[in-house]
């Protein structure tokens, strides 16, 4: 008898085992809606950034002068956003007004991001009395409404776009500080941080190259969300007259200028207001998308 193992060949009439099919998961309706909303939000933000960087490319007219015979004309093909009480094109003023409005917004978010991150980094890394003192300052800032604190600061600093940006930036410092502190506390106990100390790395090196590098991502996502809030706060202060002096256009001041003509020229306040709302909602949606992607 042969010791070799004989394997019978498969019979042709025997059914072969079915191969498992890989199911392709198609995006659901809600996922498609989320992607579309993110895409539209990105287009709105890119358009407004284009307005701020190259306003003459999108609106070649003069935002400070107008034609009296064309005053208070409703939106039309020749004047997309209508004209104001002295014949100035509202679209041109909205486009050129985006420069100051977005400059103040970016400056405010930048101040809040840098100062808040530094406070949160020091509080979370050092701990003890330093943490307690810094967090009590943060609690005080959080206890005061944003607009009220902004009004107090801009009144002390004086009128102007830069002062408005500083005031809004200071009011948002607390949010960035709390997020950064919580991330630093989480990262500080990570094994790779303890390993860095074990091999003899110095504290500043560990703080910058290990703790900070692994803590900033949620803060960047928060900056995208707070961008929309900063647009709203800057526009509110400009509406109250704390921004640039007339006739320099700003989004908030454009809404303020048209409030006396609500009954006869609704577009003077409605159109700039809709632009502000679109930018705020788009920035907030993009910020949420960044946070969801990193979570």
pLDDT tens profile 187-244: 888 888 878 877 877 877 788 888 888 888 888 888 988 998 999 999 999 999 998 8
Task: Give CA–CA dist 171/112, Å, rounded.
Answer: 8
Task: Give the pLDDT of residue 2.
Answer: 47
* Encoded tokens for 142: 């959080």
Q: Which residue has the higher pLDDT, 81 or 16?
A: 81
Any idea where the domains of the chain sit in the sequence?
77-294
SS3 assignment, position 5: coil
Task: Give CA–CA dist 293/287, Å, rounded.
Answer: 10
76-81: average pLDDT:
93
* Encoded tokens for 39: 């895409």
Q: Residue-wise over 27-51: b if at least 16 C-beta within 10 A, else e?
A: eeeeeeebeebbeebeebbebbeeb
Task: Give CA–CA dist 106/93, Å, rounded.
Answer: 20
SS3 assignment, position 252: helix
Tally the C-alpha atoms within 13 A of residue 6's C-alpha that lie toward its C-beta.
Answer: 4
% of the chain with per-residue pLDDT over 70: 88
* Encoded tokens for 230: 């900063």
77-294 under CATH 1.10.3720.10, yes or no: yes
Kindly report the average pLDDT of the chain as a whole number. 86
Least confident residue range of 74-88, 103-117, 128-142, 208-222: 208-222
Least confident residue range of 51-55, 85-89, 93-97, 142-146: 142-146
DSSP-derived secondary structure for 119-162: HHHHHHHH-HHHHHHHHHHHHHHHHS-HHHHHHHHHHHH-SSHH
- Provide the CA 82 distance to its chain's centre, in angstroms: 29
């Amino acid at each position: 008898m042969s010791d070799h193992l004989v394997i019978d060949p498969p019979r042709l009439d025997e059914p072969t085992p079915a191969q498992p099919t890989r199911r392709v998961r198609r995006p659901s309706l809600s996922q498609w809606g989320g992607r579309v909303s993110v895409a539209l939000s990105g287009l709105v933000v890119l358009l407004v950034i284009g307005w701020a960087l190259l306003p003459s490319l999108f609106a070649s007219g003069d935002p400070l002068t107008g034609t009296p015979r064309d005053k208070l004309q409703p939106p039309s093909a020749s004047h997309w956003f209508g004209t104001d009480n002295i014949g100035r094109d509202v679209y041109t003023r909205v486009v050129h007004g985006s420069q100051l409005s977005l400059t103040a917004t970016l400056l405010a978010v930048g101040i809040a991001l840098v100062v808040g991150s530094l406070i949160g980094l020091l509080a979370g890394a050092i701990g003890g009395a330093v943490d307690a003192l810094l967090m009590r300052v943060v609690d005080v800032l959080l206890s005061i409404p944003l607009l009220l604190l902004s009004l107090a600061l801009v009144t002390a600093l004086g009128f102007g776009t830069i002062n408005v940006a500083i005031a809004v930036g200071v009011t948002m410092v607390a949010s960035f500080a709390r997020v950064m502190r919580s991330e630093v506390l989480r990262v500080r106990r990570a094994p790779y941080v303890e390993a860095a100390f074990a091999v003899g790395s110095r504290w500043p090196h560990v703080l910058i190259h290990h703790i900070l590098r692994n803590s900033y991502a949620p803060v960047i996502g928060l900056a995208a969300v707070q961008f929309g809030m900063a647009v709203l706060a800057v526009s509110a202060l400009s509406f109250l007259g704390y921004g640039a002096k007339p006739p320099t256009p700003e989004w908030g001041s454009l809404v303020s200028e048209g409030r006396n003509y609500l009954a006869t020229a609704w577009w003077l306040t409605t159109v700039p207001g809709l632009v502000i709302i679109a930018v705020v909602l788009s920035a907030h949606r993009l910020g949420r998308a960044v946070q969801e992607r990193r979570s």
